[in-house]
Structure 1
């Protein structure tokens, strides 16, 4: 008996079959492609670490270049290296929101507006041919105008001079706060000094830096034009993560050889 193709039952049957097939295709694709997505995310993170340290070069794969970097787990509270978690399986981004290993911050404790600070995270070490410390790369994050900026800052072996800074995730306004991605602005960071008498004073200035002023030349970076809140956010996040509640205890221990 011929089916009535105009019947409600037939239309719903065909629609259900199409939806079922599409759902199976989408689910299968998600499962099949997930390992590739995870791998690409990992490579992108490594690329940003290399870039912040000024080590990213053309002609070599990211994986090949990343072999020069030593990944270590750090207990932020003690400033010591830690073996609490397997560093190869540790996810710093997930750790930042894991209530079991994070500390809730009060408004006074939270100039970077991160809400919670993790107790453990990864840091990245580069050594010279003699095995001595050459560069340390630290993860940083904090709120700008619209979003949390996630990035890395790299320091020279004196643990005070900036090698580079870069953000790999944010949704700041293009052309304004989004200028944190502008290579010309990023190029101002190398050579700047983080600390003055032990306090993190590196900051963005409202306007342009006066190169004839020794303090400004050493510690300040031009503010982002038309992006006051993003500029303030970058200052706050850098000073927070390089301060006493961030990586300063670790850097002090590293300098003393006791990390």
Structure 2
């Protein structure tokens, strides 16, 4: 037996303590992982509910209320961004963020709308929001793009007419509080409701994209499509504009939206006055 005050005994005790502590930390991490995953999912679902405007105060919902509302009113489907088609037999664990970083899957971000990232995922999840009769009344789409300091991640809800914004929310970013961070301001987010994505009377094509953030206040001709810029946050405002234009373009959700419009028999807008 080693003497209690020997260097060897001290070393042995230290090793044992390290092993025990490591086991405790590992066990705690494993035990907490399911709860962490559930909280992450609930936060995502809460933001989708917020974008769709299904309740006045999504932050007040309990976890069970979120799960019930999501199960009753929202259907998640995977979309191939190139073809615009729903993916049959989709893996429910498919992670768009991981796919965007995977050299075997990722797709270069191209076109005239620079969102500040080099690659995107080939497929992503969209959320069909239904009324009490089970009819799709709006669609929530994930969006992201570079602001001033960070990539902003959010959701935008569009009406069943596939032209009108129903809501917008950002749930992750590193913009400056009080400046670019005002993308979270409820007053500013409310201004997006009712905005049109493409020019009225024109097809849903890239050349007629009009949605965006103005520099200051939008002129009368652009008021149906744009909101006021964020004071002191020109680069963040520009980033939000470019992000929205990219994701509604032919490089983003354009093929999906036009396919839906064709299937639903919805007008592309070209016959409107």
Checking the alignment, whether the CA contact within 8 Å between 1:176 and 1:227 is kept in structure 2 is: yes
1:204 matched residue in structure 2: 213
**In structure 2, how many angstroms separate the alpha carbons of the residues matched to 1:110 and 1:14?**
61
In the alignment of these two chains, the number of paired residues is: 253
Checking the alignment, whether the CA contact within 8 Å between 2:113 and 2:245 is kept in structure 1 is: no
Checking the alignment, whether the CA contact within 8 Å between 2:97 and 2:121 is kept in structure 1 is: no
Is 2:99 aligned against 1:95? yes
Unaligned runs of 5+ in 2: 266-273
TM-score, length basis structure 2: 0.85
Matches within 5 A, 1:19-58: 19-56=18-55, 57=58, 58=60
Deviation at residue 258 of structure 1 after TM alignment: 6.7
Is 2:170 aligned against 1:170? no
Label 1:4 to 1:205 Cα distance change in 2 as closer, same or farther (>3 A): same
2:85 matched residue in structure 1: 80
SS in 1 for 2:141: strand
**In structure 1, how many angstroms separate the alpha carbons of the residues matched to 2:260 and 2:149?**
35
Deviation at residue 30 of structure 1 after TM alignment: 0.7
Unaligned runs of 5+ in 1: none
1:228 matched residue in structure 2: 234
Q: Which moved more, 1:140-149 or 1:128-137?
A: 128-137
RMSD: 2.1
2:198 matched residue in structure 1: 195
**In structure 2, how many angstroms separate the alpha carbons of the residues matched to 1:17 and 1:129?**
60
**In structure 1, how many angstroms separate the alpha carbons of the residues matched to 2:211 and 2:54?**
23
Label 1:95 to 1:109 Cα distance change in 2 as closer, same or farther (>3 A): farther
1:159 matched residue in structure 2: 162
Deviation at residue 129 of structure 1 after TM alignment: 4.0
| Partner residue of 2:120 out of 75, 95, 117 | 117
The Cα offsets for residues 150-190 of structure 1, whole Å up to 9 and x where unpaired, read as 11100011111111111111111111111111111111111
Checking the alignment, whether the CA contact within 8 Å between 1:138 and 1:154 is kept in structure 2 is: yes
2:249 matched residue in structure 1: 243
Label 1:161 to 1:17 Cα distance change in 2 as closer, same or farther (>3 A): same
Question: Which of the two has greater strand per residue?
Answer: 1
